[in-house]
Amino acid sequence: MKYYIKTFGCQMNERDSEKVEGILFKNNHQRVDNPEEADLIIVNSCAVREKAENKLYSEIGRLRFKNKRAKIVAMGCVAQINYERLKNIADIVVGTNTIDMFYSIAREWPHDKVFIKPNMEDPDHIFPHLTSVSAYVDIMYGCDNFCTYCIVPFTRGREVSRKKEAIIDEIKRLVDKGTKEVMLLGQNVNSYGKNFDYGFVDLLYEVNKIDGLERIRFTTSHPKDFSKELIYAMRDLEKVCEHIHLPIQSGSNKILKLMKRKYTKEEYLEKVYLYKEIVKDGSITTDIIVGFPQETEKDFEETLKILEEVRYDTSFSFKYSKRPFTKAKDMDGQVPEEEKLRRLNILQDLQAKITQEKLKNYEGKVTEVLIEGISKKGNQFFGRNRQNIVVNLDFMDNIKVGDVVRVEITKALKHSLLGKPI
Ligand code: SAH
Ligand code: SF4
Ligand code: F3S
């Protein structure tokens, strides 16, 4: 069978798509990049904003039009919550907790149409990977935080941690096949291991011991649980990269409270300052929502101030989007769409300026890059430094994919760096 797969959404969805591909590959199915050649079309969906959700419906329509003969599977976060609507337009609907269904789909087309479960039955199961220098590894599923804007707790179910042994075993298998870097994934990795007698920092210590592994990254850290202990572990564990993604969402305490984020701007900044002091050359990135209900011009300006104060390397910013099941959708004081857009543009302009200044600082300096692949044009290597910034460099005979090399930065581009190996 030939399959085509399209993925929307976060790293967790990318990993889920990789699981599906791993299963299909093991059963001798072949990936195609042109949907018209496929017998099976899979769309992995994201529900986090309305626009993301709508992409699934339009994508299914588009793909059906292009290829009327293929079977279509709708999976992912929209599938989990909107299977009633999707079962009329897709052939099969697979939710976020039923990816193991693909073991059957890979062998025989099932009679049932909808495969949804509220929680994962065996979180410790090790799904296959495709080979790569840098690999995603789930350490926990779901989320219990219920931030008032967010649909994820509804699409991914309750928080559950995978056992240390399963995670270590998975990483060792990856390293045996050439993986050098792992990205540990969870909606809130700092609350890893709630029901175990070990936590996230203990897990990092264990992963750090794995021979042959060069780098460890993780995402996402919820600021309320971002601990001193973790900051010191980032300093002390040589494989853990000096980068933290710490979504602030808003710089206004009033808005943070309405969002139910459970930290204040002051508590957040205190942690950032400690991180900056302890973790040498550490980079920091964030997520921001503009136009949350009741956000005034003054609240928005407080968010801008935080940007100036923290000086994020990058930030991912979004217009607030009303989501089903969430508390915020019914709050008073919804902000008009044009106003959200105006705020978003101002914020993104400011961030672009800061990003550019920070990238310029690298010019003339030497940075450590893990080579992940060859550029689209085929004339350069690309990789990332420990701070998670993309670096492109010219080919050299003695360098290959998977190597860690020291690179002198020659030029800062808009979102990445250019350099030559030394
Ligand atoms: N677990 C992560 C976030 C996952 S969702 C965390 O807590 O940081 C990724 C990002 O999407 C969020 O950080 C938030 O900035 C954005 N987001 C989530 N719901 C949204 C909504 N309803 N409207 C706009 N942006 C949203
Ligand atoms: Fe959503 Fe909040 Fe959970 Fe992140 S922590 S996934 S923003 S509910
Ligand atoms: Fe990720 Fe989107 Fe689901 S951000 S968890 S794919 S709703």
Q: Tell me: the pLDDT tens digits for 172-184?
A: 999 999 999 999 9
Report the pLDDT value the prediction gives residue 395, as an integer from 0 to 100: 87
Q: Which atom of ligand 3 is nearest to the CA of 45?
A: 6
Q: Tell whether the model's pLDDT for residue 46 goes beyond 90.
A: yes
| 161 in Cβ contact with 120 (< 8 Å) | no
Among all bound ligands, the one having the nearest atom to the CA of 344 is: 1
Q: Ligand 2 center to residue 242 CA distance, Å?
A: 23
**Ligand 3 centre from 150 Cα, in Å?**
10
Tell me: pLDDT of 396 over 90.
no
**pTM (2 d.p.):** 0.97
Nearest-atom index, ligand 2, CA of 156: 6
- Mutating to test ligand 3, I would choose from 10, 94, 185 the residue with most ligand atoms within 8 A of its C-beta, which is 10
CATH 2.40.50.140 residue window(s) in the chain: 366-421
User: pLDDT tens digits, residue range 134-171?
Assistant: 999 999 999 999 999 999 999 999 999 999 999 999 99
Kindly state the average pLDDT of the residues 213-217. 98
pLDDT for 376 beyond 90: no
pLDDT at 359 over 90: yes
417 CA distance to ligand 3 middle (Å) = 29
The number of C-alpha atoms within 13 Å of 216 and in the hemisphere containing its C-beta is 28
Pocket of ligand 3 contains residue 79 by CB under 6 Å: no
Ligand nearest to the CA of 13: 3
Say if CB 363 and CB 411 are below 8 A apart. yes
pLDDT of residue 397: 86
Residue 154 beta carbon below 6 angstroms from any ligand 1 atom:
no
Q: What burial letters (b/e) apply to 362-372, b meaning 16+ CB within 10 Å?
A: beeeebbbbbb
Q: Give the Å distance between the CA of 187 and the centre of ligand 3.
A: 10
CATH architecture for segment(s) 2-115: 3-Layer(aba) Sandwich (3.40)
The predicted structure's pLDDT at residue 355: 98
Please report which confidence band the pLDDT of residue 334 belongs to, taking 50, 70 and 90 as the band edges: very high
In this prediction, residue 23 has a pLDDT band, given cuts at 50, 70 and 90, of very high
> Which stretch of DSSP H or E encloses residue 240?
none
For 36, residues 6+ apart whose C-beta sits below 8 A from its C-beta are 66, 67
Q: CB burial class (10 A; 0-12, 13-18, 19+) of residue 34?
A: exposed
13 lines ligand 3 (CB under 6 A): yes
Q: How far apart are CA 213 and CA 205, in angstroms?
A: 13
Half-sphere exposure of 390 (CA within 13 A, CB side): 13
Could you tell me which of 4, 26, 21 has the C-alpha nearest to residue 136?
21
Q: What pLDDT score was predicted for residue 71?
A: 96
- Residue spans in the chain of domains classed CATH 3.30.750.210: 119-241
Atom of ligand 1 minimally distant from the CA of 150:
19
Q: 366-421, superfamily in CATH?
A: Nucleic acid-binding proteins (2.40.50.140)
Give the CATH fold of the 119-241 domain: Transcription Regulator spoIIAA (3.30.750)
The response to whether residue 7 sits with its C-beta less than 6 Å from ligand 3 reads no
**Confidence (pLDDT) at 70:** 97
Nearest CA to ligand 3 atom 2: 46
Q: In degrees rounded to 5, what are phi and psi of residue 408?
A: -90, 125
Does ligand 3 have an atom closer than 6 angstroms to the CB of 48?
Answer: yes
pLDDT in tens, 259-272: 999 999 999 999 99
Structure confidence at residue 378 as a pLDDT band (50, 70, 90)? confident
Chain region(s) in the chain for CATH 3.40.50.12160: 2-115
* In the predicted structure, residue 375 carries a pLDDT above the cut 90: no
CA–centroid distance, residue 320 to ligand 2 (Å): 14
Mean confidence (pLDDT) of the chain? 97
Nearest CA to ligand 2 atom 4: 187
Q: How far apart are the CA of 302 and the centre of ligand 1, in A?
A: 19
Between 2-16, 120-134, 233-247, 368-382, the lowest mean confidence (pLDDT) is in 368-382
Question: Using 50, 70 and 90 to split pLDDT, how confident is the model at 377?
Answer: confident
How far is it, in rounded angstroms, from Cα 122 to Cα 150? 25
